[in-house]
Structure 1
C-alpha cells in the first residue's frame, strides 16, 4: 500500500495537466496510467491522416505553448510529441506510473483505496482523468471473416496496398482516414448510416512562432470559434449561414448531383459534430470509392449493406466512435455507502460544476459530464477544471472533513444544463449523436454554452455547494 495525498487516473491531456499543476504544490501524488506511454487519444489513434480538428495553438496549455507546430491543424504524432515533452519534465516524470490499470477505487473512512494491476494506493483525493473517448464502439456485424480493426486500434501489420477496403462510418476519424487510403487501395467502400456536415479546413503549413505571435493566433482563433455557439443555439441567421457554408462546400466539391444528393445530411447542421476537410469530398468522388448504406452483415468476404449494396472486402476498418456517454471506468468507482459511479450515472452523467459528483467525496472528474465543447477547444475547459481542482485542494488544506457536493447543488446544476441544452441544435436538430445519452435523452457530453461562460462559472472553486 502506497500512501499519497492525490491519485490521478490517466496520463492523457487532462492527467498531464493535473500533474503539472500538482508538481508546484505540497501534496504528494501519483499519476496512474494503464498503458506504457502518455498521450491518451493521441497515443491510441495512429491511423493514416490522424490530426487535430482544433487550431494547433489552441490545442496546447496556455502555460506551455508549442512554437513548433508544423501546420494549422497539427498531425497526431506532433500532439503526442508535445504531450511526451510535458510528461518528461523533471517535476512530472517521477510521478508517472505506467502499466497501472485501475481495477477498483473505493471510498472508505475518509480515504480512497485505489487498486491497480501493479499495486494499491491510498489517498485523500481522487482525480479521474480517464477521458471519454477511450473504449472503441464496434457494431455487432455477423459473419466477418476478414481482418477487421477500429481506427483507435489501427493494425499497422495489415497491408492495405492494393486491397479492397471497407470503412464503416463517416465521422471525424473516417473523413481523415478515407482520403489517406484512396491512393493506396484497389477499391474503398464506405458504409454510412448518415452523412456529416463538412466545412472547409483551410489547413496549411506554417513556420515556428514566437510568444507574441502564438498569443495573437490563440486569441483570434478562440474568439472566432466562440462565435460558433450562436448556430448551436439555433439563432436563425447564424444557423442559416453555417448551413449554407457547409452545403456550399459540398456543392463546390461534388459536381455529380446524384452523389451530392446521397452525401447531403438529413438533419440540421450542428446536431452532429461538424467536420473539417478539404479532401473528403474529392475522395468520395473518385472512381475507386463507393458510398453504400449502413453495413448489415458479411457472407464470406462479401459485405452486405442495408440498402442491398454488396462489396467484396479484404480488410474492414471501423470508424465508429467510442462508448462516450456510458464511461467504462464508472463501474470501478465506489463512493460513499457503496454507491457505484455507474449507478449514480445510470440515467446519464450528472455533476456539479462539471467536475464533482454527489456521493463521491474528494473526487474530481476531468473531461467528464458536460465538459466537452462542440464549437471550441477542450483544452480551455480542462484548464478551467484544473483551476477548480486547485481551489478545492487549497480549501481541503484548511478543513479536516471531506468535500462532498450536496444533492441539491448537483440537481440545480443539472437543471441549468438541461435548460440551456433544450434550446440547442444538439437536442432539436433531428439526429442521433454521441453527445446525447440514449437512456435519458439528455445532453451529457457537451457544455451547451460558450467556453468563456464555462470558465466564468466553473473555473473557480466555491465551497458553498458542499455539505
Structure 2
C-alpha cells in the first residue's frame, strides 16, 4: 500500500544491508517512502551471509522459512541452504525491489547524533563525511562482531590464526595440524569440512551443544518446477517448517513434556553418532537443560569427532603459545593453524558506533547495565531511532526473518506517523520501562537463565532473546501513537 503524506516525507538512513536493513527499506518503499539511503561498510550486501564464508557455512533454519514471506524462492538448491545460495537470494531481492540505487557502499558509520534544535540525526562516517536524516534505522544485527576469549598469549601464535567469520581462504589446511577453539553453531558446520582435509585436528570444547538430526535434502529440478508452477506447495513447505521450528520455542517456553521429547531425540541421535569412539558421548553430552544454549542441527559433526585424526579436548584452555594451545592440565597441543570458532559479541548492541540522543545522552551510557528497547526497536531519549534486530528480539527456535518483517511493519507505521505531522517521536519512558520489566521477569525464570551462553551478559541479564514465541511478537509489536510523545512537529 502507499501512504498519503500530509507533510514532507521523512528522510531515512538505514545502517546495514543484511536481511534486517533490506526488510526495512522494502517496507518503507512499499508505503511510498523513497527518500532513503542504505549505508553499508563493505562493498556488497548480505550482512552475516557476506561475511561468513567458512567451509560448510549454511543456515540451520529451512530456506522456505528463512526467507521473506513476500519473496518466496522456488529455486532453493537445498532445504537448509548454503551460504552462496543465501547470498545470491539477498542480491536478487536487492534488484527485484530496486534497492541498489539506495545503497552506499564503503560507508562505515562512526557516530550518529540527534540534534534537539533541528530534530534530525547527523551521521558521521569513518571517512569523515556526514549526512543528515530525519530517521535513523540501525540494522547491524546481533551477530556481526566476532568475539575472542581473553586467553593469555592469544596474539603470540606464530602460524595463521583467524576467526570463523573472517576465514582466511589463502591458508592451505591440507596435511596440517589444526586447533579449533569453540564448539558453537559455526564450528559444528566447519569441523567436518576440516576433518576431511587436515592431518590432525584438536577441537577445544568448553561446553557442548545439544545436537538433533538435520533433515536436509536436495531440491531437484522437479521440486523446483513444482514450487514454481504451484506456489501453494512452497507455501505448504514454509508453513510446515514454521510449525516445526516454532515448536522448539513452545518447548522452551511452555511445554516441559515437549522439551523432554526434544532432549530424548537429541540424546538418541548423539548416542548413535558417537558409538564408533568409546567415551566420546560422555564428552559431548551437555549437562544443562535442553534449549538453554542454542540447539544445533547436524548429521556429520559427531561422526567427524569420532574419526581417528580428531581429538576432542575438554580441559580448559589457559594459554596460547607461538606453537600451540596450552590446557589446564599443563599439556601443550601443537598446532600449525589456529581457528577461533568463538561466536560474536551479541550483547554489545550497536557497538562500536557512538550514538547520542536528546541532551547529548550517550546510548552506551543508557545501556551500560544492559541493552533494552521497546519491542527491541525504540529507546526513550532517542527520538526517531528505530533499531532492527535489537535487544530481546532474537528467537530461541524460529526464523529471525519472521521477526524482522514484524519490525519492518512497525517501522513503516512509525514513519507514516511522522509524515502525518509528528516531526519526531520519543517512546514514553514509563511505557518502555514497563515493557522491559515484563520481558525481564519472564526471562529470569526461563530456560535461558540456567546456563552461560551468548544469550546472557556476564551479570546474568538476558538481552538477546524474546521470551515468548514468534507469533506473540508479531501480534504484540504494533505501533501505537499513544506509546510516544511528540517532541517536534
Report the equivalent of 1:160. Answer: 173
Report the equivalent of 2:3. Answer: none
Alignment of structure 1 residues 248-263 onto 2, 5 Å? 248-255=268-275, 256-263=277-284
Alignment of structure 1 residues 225-236 onto 2, 5 Å? 225-233=245-253, 235-236=255-256
Q: Distance in 2 between matches of 1:403 and 1:330?
A: 25
The yes-or-no answer on 1:442 pairing with 2:445 is no
Report the equivalent of 1:116. Answer: 125
How far residue 234 of structure 1 moved from its aligned partner, in angstroms, is: 6.2
The yes-or-no answer on 1:199 pairing with 2:206 is no
Q: Distance in 2 between matches of 1:245 and 1:191?
A: 25
Q: Distance in 1 between matches of 2:353 and 2:131?
A: 19
Report the equivalent of 1:26. Answer: 33
How far residue 220 of structure 1 moved from its aligned partner, in angstroms, is: 1.0
The yes-or-no answer on 1:372 pairing with 2:394 is yes
How far residue 27 of structure 1 moved from its aligned partner, in angstroms, is: 4.1
Report the equivalent of 2:83. Answer: 76
The yes-or-no answer on 1:451 pairing with 2:475 is no
Q: Distance in 2 between matches of 1:230 and 1:23?
A: 34
How far residue 464 of structure 1 moved from its aligned partner, in angstroms, is: 1.2
Q: Deviations over 1:218-273 (max 9, x none)?
A: 11111122222232126331221111111111111111441111111121111100
Report which stretch shifted further, 321-330 or 27-36: 321-330
Choose the corresponding residue for 1:424, options 432, 441, 446: 446
Structure 2 spans left out of the alignment, 5+ residues = 1-8
Contact 1:135 1:328 in 2 (8 A): no
How far residue 19 of structure 1 moved from its aligned partner, in angstroms, is: 1.7
CA gap of 1:204–1:307, structure 2 versus 1, over 3 A, is: farther
CA gap of 1:186–1:192, structure 2 versus 1, over 3 A, is: same
Contact 1:144 1:297 in 2 (8 A): no
Structure 1 spans left out of the alignment, 5+ residues = none
What TM-score results when the alignment is normalised by the length of structure 1? 0.96
How far residue 41 of structure 1 moved from its aligned partner, in angstroms, is: 0.1
The yes-or-no answer on 1:104 pairing with 2:117 is no
Report the equivalent of 2:258. Answer: 238
Q: Secondary structure at the match of 1:346?
A: coil
Q: Deviations over 1:378-413 (max 9, x none)?
A: 000000000000111111111234110011011111
Report the equivalent of 1:465. Answer: 483
CA gap of 1:432–1:372, structure 2 versus 1, over 3 A, is: same
Q: Distance in 1 between matches of 2:41 and 2:10?
A: 19
Q: Distance in 2 between matches of 1:60 and 1:307?
A: 46
Q: Deviations over 1:316-366 (max 9, x none)?
A: 000000111012536511111111111111111111122111111011000
The yes-or-no answer on 1:54 pairing with 2:52 is no
The yes-or-no answer on 1:186 pairing with 2:195 is no
Report the equivalent of 1:17. Answer: 23
Report the equivalent of 1:214. Answer: 234
Q: Distance in 2 between matches of 1:331 and 1:206?
A: 41
Choose the corresponding residue for 1:5, options 7, 11, 27: 11
Q: Secondary structure at the match of 1:297?
A: strand
CA gap of 1:90–1:355, structure 2 versus 1, over 3 A, is: closer
Contact 1:191 1:305 in 2 (8 A): no
Q: Secondary structure at the match of 1:290?
A: strand
Report the equivalent of 2:430. Answer: 408
Choose the corresponding residue for 2:310, options 289, 293, 301: 289
CA gap of 1:185–1:335, structure 2 versus 1, over 3 A, is: same
The yes-or-no answer on 1:125 pairing with 2:135 is yes
Q: Distance in 2 between matches of 1:278 and 1:135?
A: 28
Contact 1:234 1:424 in 2 (8 A): no
Contact 2:42 2:106 in 1 (8 A): yes
How many matched pairs?
Answer: 461
Report the equivalent of 2:299. Answer: 278
How far residue 79 of structure 1 moved from its aligned partner, in angstroms, is: 0.5
How far residue 189 of structure 1 moved from its aligned partner, in angstroms, is: 0.4
CA gap of 1:174–1:90, structure 2 versus 1, over 3 A, is: closer
Q: Distance in 1 between matches of 2:473 and 2:308?
A: 46
Choose the corresponding residue for 2:160, options 127, 138, 147: 147
What TM-score results when the alignment is normalised by the length of structure 2? 0.91
Q: Secondary structure at the match of 2:114?
A: strand
